[in-house]
Amino acid sequence: MGDYHNILENKVAIVTGGSRGIGKAIALKFASYGANVAINYSKSADEAKKVIAEIEKMGRKGLAVQADVASFKDAQNMVDQVVKTFGTLDILVCNAGINMDGVIWKMTEEQWDRVIAVNLKGYFNYCRAAVPIFREKGYGKIVNISSINGLRGKFGQANYTAAKGGIIAFTKTLARELGNKNINCNVVAPGLIETDMVAAMDEAAKEKSRAEITIGRIGKPEDVANVVAFLASDLARHITGQTINVDGGQLM
């Protein structure tokens, strides 16, 4: 197997939503394994700069690009900028997401449209921009971040779960379309993870979710990042079209 800590040596990766939470953990994990990493941010310029500084401290190259993942044009511009800066692209991790919760009889059109635009269309935007590069070079890794709630549904999250479930079906289709070009496409579905989104949860709802976890602890962003790094490497070269839950046994 060789040195596990060089599994992404000299690879170029994009991680959307890489300035905080799970995305930040993935970006830093990639850099620790040898990758040069580009992240996008919408408003958190300072947080993005800090992540890039940490990447560069590891001796890797980093790039932060302001881009709204819901914008087809922004996604294409970012991919173009990454290729111009680093010369190529090997790995795409679609992670950026938001939640605007509400029961279906109270959910507004804006709540539905914005969550679908960011959490589902955003994944299409980046995959659409990156796939021609992967096809041309006959190599690529796509890891899309979903959620266990995209597999089971969740009260008050019709928009979020529709997007997260859509990501799983979308990725399976990509795996079928791209397999003959040596492009692996997989999904990681986290359960309850210590992020800002979870910190903002109602305490009773959080406790209910915590009680579901067989291992008995809330996951950390690094727990997700470890699995994403594996799937983005050639250690996982024979895995495609799969959804791996990182949830401490929360969904079984």
Active-site positions? 160
> In terms of residues, how long is the chain?
252
Q: Pick from 239, 193, 231: which is nearest to 92 by CA?
A: 231
* Torsion sign (Cα): 154, 160, 163, 168: negative
Contact present, 24 and 48 (Cβ < 8 Å): no
Instruction: Tell me if 141 sits within 8 A of 232, measured CB to CB.
Output: yes
